[in-house]
Structure 1
Amino acid sequence: MAEKSPRRLKLEESLRDDPTDAFLRYGLAVQCLREGDVEEGRERLKALIADRPDDEVAAYQQLGQSYAETEEFAAAAATLRTGVAKALARGDQHAAAEMGGLLDSLD
């Protein structure tokens, strides 16, 4: 794997100071995905979802998108369906529609 970006190093450093910060955790997961460290990014998203299953709608979307990008369509669909349900339960129509659109594109 390539060298970690300064942004990723900063996120990791910030998380050492506050490992429970959901915003930092999500940001680091997304940065991992951007840098091609797919497994770590996914694991970080899964851990965030496990800790905050009803609050982290964006994590479902990013995880589902990551699976779709690697053509792991069953995992993508399952993740996105759960994300749509969580988004609707929170009243987040926008996130539900975005994930629904991605879900529809998998068919």
Structure 2
Amino acid sequence: MKSRLEILEELVRQDANDSFSRYGLAMEYMKNGDTEKALHTFNDLLQRDPSYLPVYYQMAKAFEHAGRVSDAADIYRRGLFIAKQQNNLHALSELQSALDELEE
């Protein structure tokens, strides 16, 4: 039986433009403690689909986990810009709160 990670990797191979599967793969890497692979996958997702809003919060958290506070703040700010463009008030609030907490 294939692991969740193997299934997600296969889904991404089958459809490189599937943002949801790529996001799930990055989250699975984080769950497994592979922050660098997660960051690489999040970055790839941002390059392919910069409007995919959920990636910003989780990528910033991954940067925080890696001790890369400046990179985390940058990603939060980029996410805030996208959330404003999409008029997504919930995401805007979450991203702003996370950025405020980071900058305390």
The answer, yes or no, to whether TM exceeds 0.5 is yes
Counterpart position of 2:30: 33
Equivalent in the alignment of 1:74: 70
The 5 Å alignment of 1:1-107 reads 6-53=3-50, 55-107=51-103
1:70, distance to aligned residue in structure 2 (A) = 2.9
By how many angstroms is 1:30 displaced? 0.9
Paired AA for residue 81 in structure 2? A
Q: CA RMSD in A?
A: 1.3
Question: Per the alignment, in what secondary structure is the counterpart of residue 40 of structure 1?
Answer: helix
Gaps of 5+ in 1: none
User: Within 2, Cα distance between the matches of 1:17 and 1:75?
Assistant: 30
Q: CA deviation at 1:14?
A: 1.9
**Percent identity between the aligned chains?**
30
- The answer to which of 67-76 and 21-30 deviates more is 67-76
- What's the TM-score, normalizing by structure 2? 0.90
Structure 2 Cα separation of the partners of residues 39 and 69 of structure 1: 10
**TM-score, reference length from structure 1:** 0.88
Alignment partners' CA distance in 1, 2:72 and 2:53: 14
Structure 1 residue ranges (4+ consecutive) displaced by more than 4 angstroms after TM superposition: none
Q: Which runs of 5+ in 2 are unaligned?
A: none
Counterpart of 1:96 in 2: which secondary structure? helix
